[in-house]
Copies of this chain bind each other. A is one copy, B any other.
Amino acid sequence: MADQDGDHESSSSHDRSHTCFRDWINLQKSDLDQLVKLLNPESGVEEEEGASSSSSSNKHFELCAKTVSHFEDYMRNRAELAREDISIYFAPSWCTTLENSLLWIAGCRPSMFIRLVYALCGSEMERNLSQFLLQGTSNGLLGDLSAGQLSSVNMLQLKTVREEEKLTSRLATLQEDIADQPLAVIARGATQVGETSEEADKALDDHERSMANILEEADKIRLKTLKELLGILTPKQGVDFLVASKKLHLSLHEWGKKRDRLHGRHRDARKPPPQSDEES
């Protein structure tokens, strides 16, 4: 994490934010390895000989809690960094363009967690039914959600979408404020377009502080939704969900990198266009 590095004083907030994200990607890869090992019976970790169902459940619970605490750490670190330099978080240069096109207030939509549960539940249900009819057993994963669990997930979805819409609307107001006093009037009164003034700097600083607040609130909704969802799922289903969620996030990062390379963008492509880059 960013605050474990020794050279903070000399690096820019942009570099530290980039490092923080890179560390988060690497931590997710290592968390995913552990989650997969626990879930996969072939690894021998899940169903150890003599291991009781309750101790197995404890392991799932503990790994879920550890994974969530890593997410919490990441959000705390980036909230601090965002206080120094918020704008970059709304379109980070360290993310791929695919990832950036999917952003909602500098991260994923909390409702995506729930959509993912529905998608996996649907795709597994049929397979589970065959297994149950053939072997009389079920695997206890997301395809085995009970009617009560589905109803709780549904209620969580409604609540989450409402909270998302509320914050989306606050972001809209904040963005529109730019076209109001004082910035619109300062811009209009300027002799030279873009000339700097203390008043404009102050207004932009105020705007950035409000944007940082919105980011923190969005992160709170993301974290709360994740925790409430894991509270509805059994520990084993929770591990199943976290595996799918991490795999999707990391896959999008990799697919995005490949597509950026194909389109000739990503770092090298951030050079000036063929003709002079100068704006007259």
B-contacting residues of A (Cβ < 8 Å)? Answer: 5, 7, 10-16, 18-19, 22, 25-26, 29, 32, 85-91, 93-94, 96-98, 100-104, 109, 111-113, 115-116, 118-120, 122-123, 164, 168, 172, 175-181, 183-188, 190, 193-196, 200, 204, 211, 243-244, 247-248, 250-259, 263-265, 267, 269-270, 272-275, 277, 279-280
Query: In the bound complex, what is the Cα–Cα distance between A87 and B109 (angstroms)?
Result: 17
Does A90 contact B100, Cβ atoms closer than 8 Å?
yes
Question: Contacts of A15 on B, CB cut-off 8 Å?
Answer: 264, 269, 273-274
Nearest chain-B residue to A184 (Cβ)? B119
Does A180 contact B274, Cβ atoms closer than 8 Å?
no
Does B104 contact A97, Cβ atoms closer than 8 Å?
no
Does B168 contact A274, Cβ atoms closer than 8 Å?
no
Question: Given that A115-B176, A172-B104, A280-B29 are contacting pairs, would A14 and B269 also be in contact in the complex, using a CB cutoff of 8 Å?
Answer: yes
Question: Contacts of A176 on B, CB cut-off 8 Å?
Answer: 109, 111-112, 115
Question: Given that A97-B91, A120-B184 are contacting pairs, would A172 and B178 also be in contact in the complex, using a CB cutoff of 8 Å?
Answer: no
Query: In the bound complex, what is the Cα–Cα distance between A118 and B195 (angstroms)?
Result: 23
Question: Given that A15-B273, A179-B248, A194-B250 are contacting pairs, would A87 and B115 also be in contact in the complex, using a CB cutoff of 8 Å?
Answer: no
Does A14 contact B101, Cβ atoms closer than 8 Å?
no
A-B contact pairs, 27 of them (CB 8 A): A12-B263, A13-B264, A18-B272, A19-B273, A19-B275, A22-B279, A25-B279, A26-B279, A26-B280, A29-B193, A85-B263, A86-B101, A87-B97, A90-B97, A101-B211, A112-B176, A115-B176, A116-B184, A122-B181, A168-B172, A187-B247, A193-B247, A193-B254, A196-B255, A196-B258, A267-B270, A270-B270
Does A204 contact B259, Cβ atoms closer than 8 Å?
yes
Question: Contacts of A252 on B, CB cut-off 8 Å?
Answer: 178, 187
Query: In the bound complex, what is the Cα–Cα distance between A119 and B179 (angstroms)?
Result: 7
Question: Contacts of A104 on B, CB cut-off 8 Å?
Answer: 172, 175
Kindly list the 7 A-B residue pairs having the minimum CB-CB distance in the complex, ordered from nearest. A194-B254, A91-B91, A12-B264, A91-B100, A90-B101, A87-B97, A187-B251
Query: In the bound complex, what is the Cα–Cα distance between A259 and B183 (angstroms)?
Result: 15
Does A248 contact B204, Cβ atoms closer than 8 Å?
no
User: Out of B5, B32, B100, B115, which one reaches A275, CB within 8 Å?
Assistant: B5
User: Out of B101, B109, B172, which one reaches A91, CB within 8 Å?
Assistant: B101
Does A255 contact B194, Cβ atoms closer than 8 Å?
yes
Nearest chain-B residue to A86 (Cβ)? B101
Nearest chain-B residue to A263 (Cβ)? B85
Does B12 contact A265, Cβ atoms closer than 8 Å?
yes
